[in-house]
Structure 1
Amino acid sequence: MTHTRIKQADFFLQGGRAGVLLVHGLTGTPAEMRFVGKGLHRAGYTVHGMQLAGHCGDEADLLRTGWRDWYSSVGEAAGALRRRVDHLFVAGLSMGAVLALKLAADRPHEVDGVAAYGTTFRYDGWSIPPIARLSFLLPLLTRLGIGRRRRFMESFPYGIKDERIRQRIAGSMLAGDSAAAGLPGNPWPSLAEFYRLAAGMRRQLGRVRAPCLVMHAAEDDVASVDNAHLVARSVAGPVETVLLDDSYHMITVDQQRDRVIACSADFFGRIVSARERAAASAA
């Protein structure tokens, strides 16, 4: 049997023959996907919450990697999980949603469905300062050698509306526990890599033919709902869009995480049922 490689911060939950790969965001950690992972596992899915290359260490670890490394780690984890299951779904948060969509565009015969949580092509939410909204210029600035030692720091409310959860996660992050809560800032070179990924994936959205579940906070503080609308109108496959009215950006840990779990489990389950009916009819 092929075994999935598990990195230090990964989690793997063995379930049935439908698997879900969970992909966290830039400077984040698999812990931000753990609530959803456990919920999907209770619903019968095999779940792998993966660690992106360069993440869960210090800033220097992150800066040694770029978007191609992050995407390569997603592809490796997806390939390993796909060999264990009959149906593969990929769900990502923030930049993780962009990576999930890219995998579906590049590997249409491997990915059976995508769940895009808080998809981020631009940091344009209500809490983002005006100067930070110009961060899409970072690829140009970094090519000119500008800002290599600078970073945008995370700020209140840290993508979380639930005060109790915010205090716990923000406290761990600001205390330097990057494996549990991620880094407290986004280095400019890493943000430049993110925007290179996002720009390329915008051009690929029309190649995504797998069914997509797009879930986004209506009051997302980090990435406005325009990001979700971009996905919904651009992908080629069927789309279901769910806007959450009591969460901020980190919908996988925030107040409506149970709804994220329920919608995702139902969405994936309907795809599995349809594929199994089609296979039975063809037999």
Structure 2
Amino acid sequence: MIKSADFYFEGGRAGVLLIHGLTGTPNEMRTVGKGLHRAGFTVYGMQLAGHCGDVDDLVRTGWKDWYASVLEGVDRLRRDVDHCFVAGLSMGAVLALKAAADRPDDIAGVGVYGATFRYDGWNIPWYWRLSFLLPWFKRLNLFQDKTFDEEPPYGLKDERLRAAVSSSMLGGDSADAGLPGNPWPSLAELIDLSATVRRQLRQVRAPCLVMHAAEDDMASVGNAHLVMERVGGPAKLVLLHDSYHMITVDRERREVIRESAEFFSDIAAQREGAAPQAAR
């Protein structure tokens, strides 16, 4: 059964849509959301279709369903704010970039946290190089009951936090900490999504704040460099040196909040300043 885990914090006329990752939950964005709300933003921590339930709930959906959730989130937030930003973690970052490419008039800036176009971090096993076969397996209906089970450190350098999250995740509360493994059909969807968004990166004109762990255990910093090299608008890269993949909850979460609040605030201020000139 899918639980509702999203959150909405009313604030100022600049708002941020926060997008969690594959098999994740809005809770992985909640700390950043609270920090941005304290900085004056309206914040919507959305829930992707098929998430916060069981494996069957997830595999009944695909990346187009997840992306439809993002667009619904953008539309909901846009009703309440003048400046709409999107920020995502892992696969959520990829979805945020696609939204910016497709809806340039609606999105003022993008927070790209631990972007995952490919799982190639130091904790990913060598055989994962064959993951390009997963979309073919899905089309041929092969191995569709398999999962890629996550291993410690679960994207977390903070050992105490890692113990708490792994206990909750392995305890079966997917609405709290997500699923403990990635179903192969869902990973196949992520591969198709990643290929689609790679082709669209030049269309991303909104300013991007690209934040990534230098020692990301799941997605190497090469994913961040891919974004920096290909997006069509201005981009700022911030590497974090005391975190793993889950930078929104790990040791440098306050740095994520600070950088994001400053980045989005500057853009909103520039847009406010340009508005009177545009009217003349």
| Equivalent residue for 1:160, pick from 145, 150, 156 | 156
CA displacement, residues 167-219 of structure 1 (integer Å, 9 cap, x when unaligned)? 11111001111000000000000100111100110000010000000000000
**Corresponding position of 1:226:** 222
Give the aligned partner of residue 167 of structure 2.
171
Partner in structure 2 of residue 70 of structure 1: 66
1:60-209 matches, cutoff 5 A? 60-209=56-205
CA shift at 1:133, angstroms?
Answer: 3.3
Give the percent of matched residue pairs that are identical in Structure 1 and Structure 2. 68
- Measured in 2, the distance between the counterparts of 1:134 and 1:213 equals 31
Output the CA distance in 2 between the equivalents of 1:210 and 1:146.
40
**Is the aligned partner of 1:10 residue 2:18?**
no
What is residue 268 of structure 2 aligned with on the other side? 272
Given the two structures, how large is their TM-score scaled by the length of structure 1?
0.97
Q: Whole-Å Cα distance in 2 between the matches of residues 67 and 113 of structure 1?
A: 22
Counterpart CA distance in 1 for 2:161 and 2:129 is 26
Counterpart residue number, 1:37: 33
Separation of aligned partners in 2, 1:47 and 1:104: 17
RMSD: 0.8
Pairwise CA distance, 1:282? 3.1
CA distance in 2: counterparts of 1:217 and 1:155, whole angstroms:
18
Instruction: Name stretches of at least 5 consecutive residues in structure 2 with no aligned partner.
Output: none
| Counterpart for residue 263 of structure 1 | 259
Cα distance in 1, alignment partners of residues 138 and 61 from structure 2: 15
The number of equivalent residue pairs is 277
CA distance in 2, matches of 1:238, 1:143: 38
Structure 1 residue runs without a partner (length 5+): 1-6
Aligned to 1:3: none
